[in-house]
Structure formats: structure tokens, C-alpha cells
């Protein structure tokens, strides 16, 4: 039984896997880590291995607690990856992007796959049918765009995301909603169409915390999976067990 831990800047996501099946996932603030970890330990005493992916530098106490209880792997430069990394700056490649590409290798072997992860940033990542990672793109996510409009202008309000805004906004708030949400949807559509025209039999995975708000304008060859990153981390853990 495996424990996957994804530590972000403010939130921690955990998932328990058994035989590659997701049994439970949790999302909580860093302040609740000890309490949540105790619950996981109590509910799943058969966990023996753990993988940690962290973007934070202040999580040593979390790492020490996990290491004290499980055989623990860290997603870092020393971890073996199940794909050929063609990124020109591999040391700067985000751990979230590594995880979703690993999930694509596991679940769609021998296929061209584009993973679109709509989170704080919107990332586009391509792995080929030869299991080579080519790279992709990074774009500001929904809340980054809302916050930028509010912070770097004098009078624009901070807007809360809402799905399906109209194209023509009839107020400042609805105009911002239209510009941000519909602008991202058009970006998603045109980017997906370009990849579909360049790569044969392309499968597109749409994931991330904002994927439900955005929804993909294209339907063919597109699959939504909110657990793709966690599944990728579990696959990396399993892959390194055999190395």
C-alpha cells in the first residue's frame, strides 16, 4: 500500500493507493498536516511506502515524520523517470509536469498524449508514442489572471471565477469574467487543435483544480481526470521500486 503526498505552497494533497487503485484522497492546509497524517495512519496501517512531491522549502518537519514511518521516496533529480526527458532544462521542469507525464506513460503507453493541467498555471505537456517528453507551454491560470487585473490596475475589482460567462459582458465584473474565462477557453481550443493537427492519434488529458470550471471546448479524444497527477506520482513510486 502506497501513500502519495503532494505539498504545494498552501495546500497538501494525499492519496492512498493499493495495487494501483486509488482508495482515498485528501486535501488540507499545511497547518493540519499532523492531524490528517494521524488519521491516515490509523485508517491505513498497511501503508509501507511513500512518495513526496513538494514545491515548498519549509516542509522538513513533514518529510521527517513521513520518513520515520515509511520507506520514503522524494521526487527529485535522483528519481528514475519512466520516460525519456527531452526538456532542454530538465532541472527546472516542474514536479507537477513530471507527474502528469508519468501518468500518461502508464495509462497511455505507445500513444501521443497531450496533458493540459489547469491549476495555478495552465500547463501543456506532450509525450510521444516513443515515450519521449518534448515539453509544452506554461500559461497563467484563472486566479492568476484575475489577481493580475486587480493588482496591476487602479480600479478593476478582484473577481471570483464563474463557469460559462457570456461573451459580451454588460458590467465590469462580467466583462472580466468573459475576458478571462472565455479567453482561456479559446486558448485551450486553439492549442488543442494545433496539437491535434501535428500529432497522429493524439489523446488529450484535461486535469487540474480548474478543469471543471473551464471545460474543454473540444470533445473528441479528450478525457477529464482530476486524479491524474496523483496517479502519476504513484506510478513513479512503483517504477522506482523495481529500479
Residues with catalytic function: 96
Query: What residues are designated binding site for ATP?
Result: 6-13, 120
Lookup result for grid cell 512531491: 53
Query: What residues are designated binding site?
Result: 6-13, 87, 94-97, 117, 120, 172
Query: What residues are designated binding site for substrate?
Result: 87, 94-97, 172
Question: Which of 50, 145, 136 is closest to 94 using CA atoms?
Answer: 136
> How many C-beta neighbours within 10 Å does residue 243 have?
7
What residues have CB less than 8 Å from 14, skipping those under 6 apart?
Answer: 3, 4, 5, 6, 25, 26, 36, 40
Q: For residue 51, what are the CA distances in angstroms to 16, 109, 206, 211, 233?
A: 11, 22, 23, 25, 7
How many residues would you count in the chain?
Answer: 243
> How many C-beta neighbours within 10 Å does residue 120 have?
18
C-alpha 35/C-alpha 135 separation (Å) is 38
Amino acid at each position: 500500500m502506497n501513500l502519495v503526498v503532494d505539498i504545494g505552497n498552501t495546500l497538501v494533497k494525499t492519496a492512498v493507493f493499493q495495487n494501483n487503485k486509488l482508495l482515498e484522497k485528501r486535501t488540507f492546509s499545511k497547518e493540519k498536516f499532523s492531524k490528517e497524517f494521524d488519521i491516515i495512519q490509523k485508517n491505513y496501517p498497511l501503508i509501507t511506502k511513500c512518495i513526496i512531491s513538494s514545491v515548498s522549502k519549509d516542509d522538513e518537519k513533514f518529510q521527517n515524520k513521513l520518513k520515520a514511518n515509511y520507506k520514503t521516496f522524494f521526487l527529485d533529480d535522483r528519481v528514475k523517470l519512466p520516460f525519456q526527458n527531452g526538456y532542454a532544462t530538465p532541472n527546472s521542469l516542474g514536479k507537477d509536469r513530471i507527474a502528469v507525464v508519468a501518468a500518461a506513460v502508464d495509462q497511455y503507453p505507445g500513444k501521443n498524449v497531450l496533458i493540459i493541467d489547469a491549476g495555478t498555471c495552465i500547463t501543456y505537456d506532450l509525450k510521444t508514442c516513443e515515450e519521449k517528453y518534448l515539453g509544452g507551454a506554461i500559461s497563467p491560470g484563472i486566479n492568476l489572471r484575475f489577481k493580475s487585473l486587480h493588482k496591476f490596475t487602479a480600479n478593476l475589482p478582484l473577481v471570483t471565477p464563474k463557469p460559462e460567462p457570456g461573451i459580451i459582458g454588460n458590467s465590469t465584473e462580467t466583462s472580466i469574467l468573459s475576458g478571462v474565462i472565455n479567453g482561456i477557453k479559446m486558448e485551450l481550443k486553439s492549442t488543442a487543435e494545433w496539437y491535434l493537427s501535428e500529432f497522429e492519434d493524439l489523446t488529450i488529458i484535461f486535469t487540474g483544480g480548474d478543469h471543471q470550471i473551464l471545460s474543454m471546448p473540444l470533445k473528441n479524444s479528450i478525457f477529464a481526470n482530476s486524479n491524474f497527477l496523483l496517479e502519476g506520482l504513484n506510478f513513479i513510486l512503483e517504477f522506482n521500486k523495481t529500479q
